[in-house]
Amino acid sequence: MHNPLLLTRELVDALAALGPVSHIVSASLAHHGYMAQWLGNFPNAVGLGPPGLADKCPHIPLAGALGDTPVPALAADVEQVWVSAVPTFSETVFFHRPTRTVLVTDLLMHFGGKAEGYSWGSRLVGAVFREIGRAHV
């Protein structure tokens, strides 16, 4: 589970259909709000978070800090890189080889329209861009 949200019965049922939850990950210091709840409900899962999360939230039972190297159990399927930008925007970005899926949290954002109303901090780290044209990926 990547950046877990509020755990609901519907979510537990949907996950059960996919298989066991083996890892619960907070990719940045801003997305740990439900980590303890998830780890309490999935006691066999490994909890991982960014550098500094164990100090910030000692009540969350983490097995380790994320970095550039995936834990051995995930290494065959996952590549990851720790992107240290601005403290609140630093995060681990994951690439899941079998599905060719990139998991990005806050390092990649798009706010439609104009930048009015966004903080100077968001503008400083590049979270708000002026649209110069449309790019299709």
- pLDDT tens per residue, range 65-98: 998 998 999 999 999 998 886 666 788 999 999 9
Retrieve residue 97's tokens: 């080889």
33 vs 30: CA distance, rounded Å: 8
Cα→Cα distances 51→29, 68, 83, 127, 136, Å: 8, 11, 11, 22, 34
Element (H, E) at 91: strand 91-96
> What's the pLDDT score for residue 80?
93
Q: Is the pLDDT of residue 64 over 50?
A: yes
135 has pLDDT over 50: no
pLDDT at position 102 over 50: yes
Q: Compute the half-sphere exposure of residue 40: CA atoms within 13 Å on the CB side of its CA.
A: 8
pLDDT at 119: 57
17 by DSSP, 3-state: which? helix
Alpha-carbon torsion (76, 12, 64, 54), positive or negative:
positive
Predicted TM-score (pTM) of this structure: 0.76
pLDDT by residue (tens digit) across 114-129?
Answer: 555 555 555 555 544 4
How high is the pLDDT of residue 132? 35
For 21-33, what is the mean pLDDT? 91
